[in-house]
Amino acid sequence: MSKAQINKGKVYLAGGGPGDPGLLPRRTLDLMSRVDVICYDALINPALLALAPEDADMEAVGYRGYNGGIVYGMHPRVIELANQGKSVLRLKAGDPFIFGRGTEECRDLNDHQIPFEIIPGITAGLGASVYAGFPLTSGGMASDVTLASGHMSSTALTSWESMGKGSGTLVLYMASKKIDKCVDRLVKNGRNPQTPVIHISAATSAEQVETEGTLETIAEKIAALNNENPAIIIVGEVVGLRSEMNWRAKLPMNQQRVLIAGRNLHTMQAALEDMGAISMSLPLWTPEYLIDSIRWKNICSEKVIAFADRQSACAFKRALPEFGLDIRKLAGIRLIACGEHSYNVLKEIGLTDTEQMSKSELPKDALLLHGPRSVGNHSKCLQVWQRKALKQRFRLERADKVYVDDRFSLEALCQLQEFDKIKGATWYTRHKTLIPLGEKYGLDFRYIKNAPQKEMAVEMSEN
């Protein structure tokens, strides 16, 4: 690193993949929780942005679609942040080095003596073909693949002659608005007009739409779509393999968008995605822990301590190192967890002698640590955490199904400016107390039995 780079932040030029958050590179996901600022472009799926930590600093930069009028390399805001010494994740759709202006951006970073790293992503062409159910190469059918820009149709940039005479698979980016010209060049240079073609918009997202045709018919079919989503056009005999390889079409929740409002619902989210759903977890609050020195002194003076919920146990766990208490000094204190979740938190830190019982069974002398929810008639209580509302960091999109796990999340959802986008979805909860509250907002909740999260996901897929 040169002397000029010492006080500058590093820029990570990262591919976000084609759209499905499950296809985000592991390195990129790791950086989302480490960098100072995430700068993302307009093509990034909101479900992907939801993977960022709740306190992440996020800024929308860039543009949507091709814009030949761009006069800069790297976005000026990214340069500004890096010159301030901040590490920046420049998150781009697809792969930054495949029609992503990666060359121009890296040259600009070099000119400003800003260190950078490149993280490749799954390009849209590959993601589109796989999610549409066919390969780009196949033995005896296609042994080569050409990635080409259909927008910049100049012969100086692309050899239409070789692509017309070739028999391999052709993947056209940014070609929807000029498909008639692209088809004309391919046919004039030797491609069979009956060659299979597929137009795939919003690849790997819940909005993915596939339109099949041939070189002879595809331009007319695309014109009739009235679809402004980014699209990939794939030309070649491999398109015909969809009838036997379209794996996603067999999934029960294929292309359904599910919004999950609540916390610690990772197992449910994974089960929904295994069934084909594109899910987005939208935390609307974060726990704010309230144990200070005074509360801690009161807690440690007790002989019996009970934990009403998981977050109360987390508050206790967090306070141990903060106030310098060795867990061995808790040997004389009776610990009681009111539920499996709080028990597991205490078990993680070595408090294996913790008992489990319901709140109604607690001894009268137990100090019950709790959060904002009512703790019933127990007389000896201490609130150790509360909910802190989180700001909406990115736009919401249409949802087919919405699961809500607590009252606070429901009220926060219904107050969002974009609530109308999700109001028409099918709503679910495992808490009967939310059903009458939902009616006040015009929502008709479907009750699902409180069961392991995987079973609840299956019930959502069936109803």
Taking only the tens place, the pLDDT of each residue in 269-285 is 999 999 999 998 887 88
pLDDT above 60 (res 186): yes
Q: Which amino acid is at 138?
A: S
Lowest-confidence pick of 128-132, 208-212, 252-256, 375-379 = 375-379
pTM greater than 0.95 (yes/no): no
pLDDT at position 227, please? Answer: 85
Taking only the tens place, the pLDDT of each residue in 329-381 is 777 889 999 999 899 999 998 888 899 999 989 999 999 999 988 778 888 99
Cα dihedral 233, 234, 235, 236, rounded to 10, equals -170
pLDDT above 80 (res 53): yes
The closest alpha carbon to 133, from 223, 204, 202, belongs to 204
pLDDT at position 79, please? Answer: 96
Lowest-confidence pick of 334-338, 382-386, 390-394 = 390-394
- Of all helices (H) and strands (E), which one includes residue 222? helix 218-225
Q: Within 13 Å, how many C-alpha atoms sit on residue 153's CB side?
A: 16
pLDDT above 70 (res 84): yes
pLDDT above 60 (res 17): yes
Radius of gyration of the chain (CA): 27
pLDDT at position 55, please? Answer: 83
Q: Which amino acid is at 395?
A: R
pLDDT at position 263, please? Answer: 83
pLDDT above 90 (res 26): yes
pLDDT range class, residue 215, cuts 50, 70, 90: very high
Q: What value does the mean pLDDT of the chain take?
A: 90
Cα–Cα distance measured from residue 214 to residue 211, given in angstroms and rounded to the nearest whole number? 10
Cα–Cα distance measured from residue 102 to residue 123, given in angstroms and rounded to the nearest whole number? 13
Q: Within 13 Å, how many C-alpha atoms sit on residue 178's CB side?
A: 16
pLDDT above 60 (res 155): no
Domains observed in the chain: 9-122 (3.40.1010.10), 126-250 (3.30.950.10), 257-284+390-462 (3.40.50.10090), 287-388 (3.40.50.10090)
Q: Which amino acid is at 228?
A: E
Residue 147, SS3? strand
pLDDT at position 375, please? Answer: 78
- Compute φ and ψ for 422, nearest 5 degrees: -115, -5
Q: What is the mean pLDDT of residues 88-107?
A: 94
pLDDT at position 153, please? Answer: 47
pLDDT at position 175, please? Answer: 92
pLDDT above 90 (res 72): no
Residue 421, SS3? helix
Q: Could you give the percent of the chain with pLDDT greater than 90?
A: 68
